[in-house]
Amino acid sequence: MGAAVARAQQGDEAAFAVAYRLVQPGLLGYLRGLVGDDAEDVASDAWLEIARDLGRFKGDGAGFRGWTATIARHRALDHLRRQRVRPRSSALEQDLLDLPGPQSTHDQALEAISTERALELVRGLPRDQAEAVLLRVVVGLDGPAAARVLGKRPGAVRTAAYRGLKRLAGRLGAEGVTEEAPRTLGEST
């Protein structure tokens, strides 16, 4: 990714597209955990800023991933602040915006249910743990990079991610999702 970023900084649009395709899925997952359904709008704002400021970026591929997460986080926090003072759109407006897409409705529904359930579980964590889990697991940042995004020490982020993942594992175990070997019918517990 570092080579693609370097070429993108020199104006290579194809290289920018490569960097975008590598970073966007994780970044979008992170933003979904922060702002929910508005994640794509916030990601668009973040990518505008990323493209504008790309020439000022200094670092390698992993650094680029962290830099983009920092920008996305700032846009998400701005979005959340604006939401507190601006009313939400009406249901009628939302219906007009929801146009059919080319994907299979069945596949989209299954993906949306599993993604939404996972994000619902993460949103149930304390904020520091939720952000640490999203940055470490979804975005794929290492401890120091996630710490820079959050403005915390790497050890604090690692601890928050560990506690968050442990809490998620406990919740999943309580719901009957465990790492035990599969059982056959009639086998006792």
Measured distance CA(50)–CA(147) in Å, rounded: 20
Q: What is the pLDDT of residue 96?
A: 47
Q: What is the pLDDT of residue 95?
A: 54
Which of 131, 157, 162 is closest to 144 using CA atoms? 157
Q: What is the pLDDT of residue 185?
A: 41
pLDDT (tens digit, 0 to 9) for every residue of the chain, 189 residues total?
889 999 999 999 999 999 999 999 999 999 998 898 899 999 999 999 999 999 999 988 889 999 999 999 999 999 999 888 765 555 555 554 555 555 655 555 555 557 677 778 888 889 899 989 888 888 888 889 889 999 999 999 999 999 998 998 888 776 655 455 444 444 444
Q: Are 61 and 5 in contact (CB under 8 A)?
A: yes
Q: What is the pLDDT of residue 186?
A: 42
148 Cβ neighbours under 8 A, 6+ residues apart = 66, 70
